[in-house]
Amino acid sequence: MLDFKQAHLVQDWSYDRPLLATRFSPDGTQLVTSAEDSQLQRWDILSGEKVILAGHESWVHALQITPDGQTLISGGCDGRLIWWPLQAAQPVASRTIEAHSGWIRAIDLSPDGARLASVGNDRQICLWDVHSGEQLAQWGQHDKHIYSVLFHPDGQQLLTGDLAGKIHLWNLADQQLLRSFDAVPLYEYNAGQQIDFGGVRSLALTPDGQHLLAAGLHKGSNPLGAVHEPLVLRFNFSDATLLKSHTCDGIPGGVLWRIVCLSDGTAMAVCGGSSGGHLFFFDAEQEKDIHRFALPSLARDMDYHRPSERAVSVHYDQHLRVTHLRAD
């Protein structure tokens, strides 16, 4: 039974380069990670044995596995989308698409696994047929790099969030804008360093569909010096009203890289930065985090496997760690 206050590490494996992104297979038996050597790694959850997947020419920040567990899709900073047969003994790329000009920041699969949405630094939103690789649509109305993308559970709407703190809800039938959410507290422009910083790093919808969560950072007084604090914005999904700004006291250097909703409706976000690594937990009632679990090192990404109540995190110290969110 889920009890995040009983969270504890159960597995810890190492690689030979810092890790960037991770996803569970739907059945929870495998993990996929990416690393700073531009390769992917498939891990067996029981043995820790790994298989290397080589095909990208740059770092990979975007990973998704189809609901049937058969196919991995990766999106790289080389602008490529690559399809991999996940269950093959030695997976070899089965399809490669030159999808974006510049970095692919995020990808997401429709609930039925038939369509893939991709976004990135070219400010374009692309929709793909997962089975054929055909591009179904492409459009762009963001002014800044697009950092996050999320299918609505109905499969007919899509959410995208950008560097400037703009979140748009799209009707996929005609790519028309339905609603916008103002997440500008997640954005900073530092005049002294002359950089845009922050952005909507991750999006999540609560299981009841009533709240949209946007995660990232705020108070970026010295972005290049890693002085910025974690922040989650909670919106009423139906009218885009901001309901709460969830903060994390005592974390002067942190970014929330990904946020997901747990089976009880609680939100869990992974934080990494100069203040180390943490899993933070939030509910709809409290402004601040309701619990935090310290990770051994700066974290960069996280995924959650609901049936087993496990979270996997990847770290700059080259480690992959699995946390149980319940007592054994």
pLDDT tens track for 107-154: 999 999 999 999 999 999 999 999 999 999 999 989 999 999 999 999
Total number of domains constituting the chain: 1
In the block, residue with structure tokens 């995040």: 4
| Tens digits of residue pLDDT in 141-177 | 899 999 999 999 999 999 999 999 999 999 999 999 9
- What is the length of the chain? 328
> 230 near 219, Cβ under 8 Å?
no
**Residue 189 confidence class, pLDDT cut points 50, 70, 90:** confident
Q: Alpha-carbon distance 313 to 138, whole Å?
A: 32
Which ranges of 170-274 would DSSP assign to H, the alpha helix? Answer: none
**Residue 223 confidence class, pLDDT cut points 50, 70, 90:** confident
Strand order in the sheet with 80-85: 60-65, 71-76, 80-85, 95-98
The span from the first CA to the last CA of the chain, in angstroms, equals 9
In the block, residue with structure tokens 């992974």: 270
DSSP for 140-151 reads ---SS-EEEEEE
Closest CA to 7 of 314, 320, 315, 311: 311
Mean pLDDT of the chain: 96
User: Would the pLDDT of 251 be above 90?
Assistant: yes
Please compute the mean of the pLDDT values over residues 206-235 and round it to a whole number.
Answer: 92
Please count the other Cβ atoms lying within 10 Å of the Cβ belonging to residue 254: 26
| Tens digits of residue pLDDT in 286-303 | 999 999 999 999 999 999
Token pair listed for 68: 């049937």
Token pair listed for 21: 């992104």
Q: Alpha-carbon distance 290 to 141, whole Å?
A: 36
> 18 near 317, Cβ under 8 Å?
yes
Task: Return the pLDDT at 45.
Answer: 95
Amino acid at 133: G
User: Would the pLDDT of 195 be above 90?
Assistant: no
User: Would the pLDDT of 181 be above 80?
Assistant: yes
> 52 near 15, Cβ under 8 Å?
no
DSSP for 8-77 reads EEEEEEE-SS-EEEEEE-TTSSEEEEEETTS-EEEEETTT--EEEE---SS-EEEEEE-TTSSEEEEEET
Q: Which domain holds residue 294?
A: 4-324
CATH of the domain at 152: 2.130.10.10
Q: How many helices (H) and strands (E) does the chain have?
A: 0, 30
> 66 near 46, Cβ under 8 Å?
no
Residues 6+ apart with CB under 8 A from 273: 226, 228, 251, 253, 254, 255, 298
Token pair listed for 1: 């039974």
User: Would the pLDDT of 63 be above 90?
Assistant: yes
> 34 near 59, Cβ under 8 Å?
yes
β partners of residue 188 = 197
What SS3 class is residue 165?
coil
